[in-house]
Amino acid sequence: MSLVQFAIAEDPPNRLDKALFRDAPEQADLSRTRLGKLIEQGAVRVDGKIAESPKIKVTAGAQIEITLHAATQIATEAENIPLEVVYEDAHLIVVNKPAGMVVHPAPGTPSGTLVNALLYHCAETLSGIGGERRPGIVHRIDKDTSGLLVVAKTDKAHHHLADQFAAHSVERLYQALCFGVPETSDPRLRGIRGVNFEPGNIMKVTTQLARHKTDRQRQAVLFEGGRHAVTRVRVAQRFGTPAAAARIECWLETGRTHQIRVHLAHTGHGLIGDPVYGGKRRIARKAMGEHASDAIGNFSRQALHASILGFEHPLSGEKLRFEAPLPDDFSKLLSDLSNTSA
């Protein structure tokens, strides 16, 4: 049994179940349907009193307690799913995750995940700190983002790696394709809060991020009340005449959910293919040409790849750095765009 505790944020919806769905911690994995059942079971307390109906009103600042019974969770099974292992020793494993693979099981995705594959590959050697559904998982990347992850095989390694991520000392570089060209010459970037430029024409985005008020699957940019988030972006290649898209390199100082995707959308340069944060916007066909424009329109996921991962080995102290090549779909799109390079 576990207890989920949080406070209702400002401007709550007019029903308890909707307010809980909006404000419950993301890691609790609570769907609105499950929240309704928990209210029926008397497992939800508002300011210490059992909530009797999902329709009651709740005010900002109300203290919520939700009792969860872990025994109802389905056991995570080992599955023989191919893994691209980049590095492995007795303490950790680095894998190159394909786009389309979820990192760990969650409601609606109980199998076919990276964790299921790791349980088969590593048998009983994964760290237990993450719990049954997330053994060894130190950090995550989105389902439709490809690239490198490190997974702990011992509890000691897990603690050391987690400390490095918390201290922002892990090197994380992403390759991405975005609409427009996010550099100092773009007049639209002037005056956007949280955006400034560092030497070398590197765009720095500094905001806070939190779950969207009305859409639990999205993150939103805030400037108070969220979690600190910093992304740096450098333009590596321009496409189109005039330039209408770019290949960019993104460095994460922090690692919040959807951080790069949200920050690029905030600047008006959403990622190509991103269905959540506006990556389906129309491209200037005259600038890009028919072939490249069609390739952009048909790209079925966010064009984002975790290409470099560097950290200190948790036991030996050795500096490790790994690089993963672009996956085939990303490379094909890049090739289609390269014929239009500005």
Average pLDDT of the chain is: 90
Same-domain status, 44 and 89: no
Whether residue 79 is contained in a domain is answered as no
Whether residue 226 is contained in a domain is answered as yes
Which of 167, 198, 226 is the endpoint of a domain? 167
**Residue 73's pLDDT is what?**
45
Catalytic residue among 142, 144, 329, 336: 142
Supply 240's token pair: 């189109």
With bands split at pLDDT 50, 70 and 90, how would you rate the model's confidence at 60? very high
pLDDT digits (tens, 9 = 90+) for 263-298: 999 999 999 999 999 755 678 888 999 999 999 999
Same-domain status, 178 and 323: yes
Mean pLDDT of the region 18-25: 91
With bands split at pLDDT 50, 70 and 90, how would you rate the model's confidence at 329? very high
Same-domain status, 214 and 262: yes
Q: Which of 285, 283, 266, 265 is nearest to 274 (CA)?
A: 265
Question: How many domains does the chain contain in total?
Answer: 3
Same-domain status, 102 and 212: no
| Ranges 2-11, 54-63, 134-143, 246-255: which has the least confidence | 134-143
**Residue 133's pLDDT is what?**
54
Q: Taking a C-beta distance cutoff of 8 angstroms, is the pair 293, 235 a contact? A: no
Contacts 24+ apart (CB under 8 A), 16-21: 16/44, 16/46, 16/51, 16/53, 16/54, 16/55, 16/56, 16/57, 16/58, 17/54, 17/55, 19/58, 20/44, 20/64, 20/66, 21/216
Same-domain status, 47 and 102: no
Roughly how many angstroms between the first and final C-alpha of the chain, as a whole number?
Answer: 58
Q: In the predicted model, is pLDDT for residue 27 greater than 60?
A: yes
Mean pLDDT of the region 91-100: 96
pLDDT digits (tens, 9 = 90+) for 161-191: 999 998 899 999 999 999 999 999 998 898 8
Same-domain status, 234 and 251: yes
Which CATH number do you get for residue 17?
A: 3.10.290.10
Mean pLDDT of the region 226-248: 96
Q: In the predicted model, is pLDDT for residue 72 greater than 80?
A: no
Which CATH number do you get for residue 120?
A: 3.30.2350.10
Whether residue 80 is contained in a domain is answered as no
With bands split at pLDDT 50, 70 and 90, how would you rate the model's confidence at 131? low
**What residue spans of 55-136 are helical by DSSP H?**
114-122
pTM higher than the cut 0.95: no
Which of 72, 107, 134 is the endpoint of a domain? 72
| Ranges 36-40, 93-97, 176-180: which has the least confidence | 36-40
Whether residue 78 is contained in a domain is answered as no
**Residue 342's pLDDT is what?**
57
Same-domain status, 57 and 20: yes
**Residue 71's pLDDT is what?**
40
Based on the residue annotation, tell me whether 155 is a catalytic residue of this protein.
no
Whether residue 39 is contained in a domain is answered as yes
**Residue 74's pLDDT is what?**
46
Same-domain status, 329 and 226: yes
Q: Which domain holds residue 32?
A: 2-72
DSSP 152: E
Same-domain status, 182 and 281: yes
pLDDT digits (tens, 9 = 90+) for 206-235: 999 998 888 877 899 999 988 999 999 999
Same-domain status, 186 and 148: no
Whether residue 249 is contained in a domain is answered as yes
Whether residue 131 is contained in a domain is answered as yes
Whether residue 116 is contained in a domain is answered as yes
Same-domain status, 203 and 317: yes
**CA–CA distance, 130 with 249 (Å, rounded to integer):** 30
Same-domain status, 42 and 65: yes
Secondary structure of residue 186 in the 3-state scheme: coil
Q: Which of 247, 245, 246, 261 is nearest to 302 (CA)?
A: 261
**What residue spans of the chain are helical by DSSP H?**
16-23, 32-40, 114-122, 155-166, 259-266, 285-288, 290-298, 328-338
Which of 107, 142, 167 is the endpoint of a domain? 167
DSSP letters for 103-126: SS-BTTB-SSSHHHHHHHHHTT-S
